Amino acid sequence: MATRRFAATDPSLAALYEKLSEASLQPLWELSGLLTPQPVARGVPYRWAGKELRELGSTAGELVPVGRGGDRRVLACCNPGLDGAPYAVSTLWAAVQYLRGFEVAPAHRHTPAALRFIVEGEGVWTLVDGDPLHMGTGDLVLTPSWTFHEHHNPTADPMIWMDVLDLPIVAALDAVFFENGPSEKVDRATAAQSSSEAWFGGGPGLVPVDGPALSARRSPLLAYRWADTERALEGQLAVRGDGHARLRYTDPIRGGDVMPTMRCEMERLRSGTTSAAVRQTGGQVTCVLHGTGRIEVGSGDQLRAFDVEPGDIVAIPSWAPRSVSADTQLDLFTTSDAPVLDALGLFRIETALGATA
């Protein structure tokens, strides 16, 4: 039951340190690194190549049944700076999930919230509390905290997508709960339109007067379709001069981020456009949807430059500047823990860093 013991050459101090250790106390003056002038992010700038993710996902599909371990065939992006923890940045889990034709990943729920973003392909349905959501290219699909969710593939073709979870945050708060689905029977429901979208996806600002009860802290709209997203990007580009549109996915009923722990954004950079470097507290994960270009992350010795293409996943640690230049038109989906930092009064952003190019 003793804690860490500190050494001292002075005998009285050494005696004190021994007593402190026995009493489960530590002397602050012997600790270091607790309070740093700026965040010393755990994790490093990193990129997982989309091509490799697809290949390894496919190999896993051949070798590993979906039911084995966590009921999901998932490859977790592990930031090399995190000492083997299976997290893309210190606060976010990012992974690719691979489902072969006719496979089912059965229903469960957990307090960590998840989102799915699809870079390529379609044909899998995710059931969220029984509501079937089709997954297609460019779509964002939410499985909020403590909602049952299941994935099934009624087609013959495999499909791969990106999962992002707030697992590191929920784990750090000792608040993980998990439960398997209500039964062994597998729901293979599909629908042309989800109930969620029928109620809440009609158009901007149009909400039901007497619709389903709303959950307290997350969007009732569970799928954001690429067609809408692209129209919104183009609308914005039409009225701004810089060729760089950025939109946030929000709760269409009450405003605010889609879920209390993860912010989701999509940006489109016209070909030839470069964005200024921005840094913010908290981690981010960017996934390339369309186009090629260059993402620079970090500064000084930590600066890394990634030539990106569709499917690439890039980790941006806390307070690391990020800038982007687009060789072709570039669409980037980014998730961050910004709502957490914002709620706690810890969100800082610097946007005036200038282009790093």
Query: Which of 92, 95, 104, 269 contacts a copy of itself by CB under 8 A?
Result: 95
Binding window for a copy of itself (CB under 8 A); candidates: 154-162, 192-200, 269-277, 288-296:
192-200
Query: Which of 254, 307, 328, 350 contacts a copy of itself by CB under 8 A?
Result: 254
Name the amino acid, one letter, at 93: W
Q: How far apart are CA 243 and CA 64, in angstroms?
A: 44
Query: Which of 101, 188, 246, 273 contacts a copy of itself by CB under 8 A?
Result: 246
Smallest distance, Å, CB 186 to a copy of itself?
19
By CB under 8 A, residue 24 contacts a copy of itself: yes
Tell me how far apart the terminal alpha carbons of the chain are, to the nearest angstrom: 54
Task: Report yes or no: 58 and 98 within 8 Å, Cβ to Cβ.
Answer: yes
By CB under 8 A, residue 287 contacts a copy of itself: no
By CB under 8 A, residue 111 contacts a copy of itself: yes
Looking at residues 127 to 166 of the shown chain, list those that interact with a copy of itself (rule: CB under 8 A).
145
Q: How far apart are CA 145 and CA 179, in angstroms?
A: 12
By CB under 8 A, residue 250 contacts a copy of itself: yes
Query: Which of 126, 153, 261, 356 contacts a copy of itself by CB under 8 A?
Result: 261
Residue 273 corresponds to which tokens in the numbers above?
């456009």
By CB under 8 A, residue 171 contacts a copy of itself: yes
By CB under 8 A, residue 272 contacts a copy of itself: no
Task: Report yes or no: 119 and 137 within 8 Å, Cβ to Cβ.
Answer: yes
Query: Which of 157, 186, 202, 271 contacts a copy of itself by CB under 8 A?
Result: 202
By CB under 8 A, residue 211 contacts a copy of itself: yes
By CB under 8 A, residue 324 contacts a copy of itself: no
Q: How many CA atoms lie within 13 A of 36 on its CB side?
A: 8
Closest CA to 337 of 165, 110, 131, 151: 165
How do 313-316 and 46-48 pair as beta strands?
antiparallel
Looking at residues 326 to 355 of the shown chain, list those that interact with a copy of itself (rule: CB under 8 A).
337, 340-341, 343-346, 348
Residues 6+ apart with CB under 8 A from 126: 116, 132, 133, 135, 141, 143, 149, 150, 151
By CB under 8 A, residue 61 contacts a copy of itself: no
